[in-house]
Amino acid sequence: MTLLSKYLKYIKTSIYFITLGIILIIYMFNQLIGIFLASLVFVVYLASFLISLSSKRSLLRIIRDYSYISDKEISKKLERPLEDIRNILFLLSKNQKNKKWLIVFLNQRYIFLNEGAIKSYKQLFHMGYNEKKILEHLQRNTRIKSRAEVKAIELALTTQNRLTNDE
């Protein structure tokens, strides 16, 4: 995280606790206004949560068309800060075990692979190809550049138990 993003996160947390403190003080003097303000703050935070949830879905909808795309490329295409894109990809990568796509973290960057790229990888893997052969084949269809990326994909699929023969 950059210094600016840490500072912004600190400010957001501070505002949250200050708001709760003010609402608590107002509630002590006038319960009706306190409950109204607490409800208003709850609605605002709920709305911000829903907006972040929809940004995840819209991001996925856009990047599924690419067989291979990095976080920097996504940031440029969507014209959003790289830190926001990385946070969304981090959250998506935590819950991807049953998904058809894959997000891999390698060398301080996130890489997204869509369903077609993952199927190609699995086919080559089950055919018994080693990393070098898999890399040669995948370089034709995707923009995978190194064996480290191939190894990271294999490691991610293995840890999620997605490299079984029955798929």
Report the alpha-carbon angle 22-27-29, nearest 5: 105
- 115-146 pLDDT, tens digit per residue, is 888 998 999 899 989 888 888 888 887 888 88
| Distance (Å, whole) CA 17 – CA 21 | 6
Burial class (CB in 10 A: 0-12, 13-18, 19+), 64: middle
pLDDT computed for residue 25 by the predictor: 94
Report the alpha-carbon angle 63-69-75, nearest 5: 75
Residue pair 70/110 in contact (Cβ under 8 Å)? The answer is yes
pLDDT computed for residue 144 by the predictor: 87
Which residue bears the tokens 């692979």? Answer: 113
pLDDT computed for residue 53 by the predictor: 66
**Residues in the chain, pLDDT under 50:** none
Residue pair 150/135 in contact (Cβ under 8 Å)? The answer is yes
Residue pair 131/150 in contact (Cβ under 8 Å)? The answer is yes
pLDDT computed for residue 8 by the predictor: 75
| Distance (Å, whole) CA 156 – CA 125 | 13
Domain boundaries, the chain: 1-63, 68-167
pLDDT computed for residue 142 by the predictor: 82
Would the pTM of this model clear 0.75, i.e. be above it? no
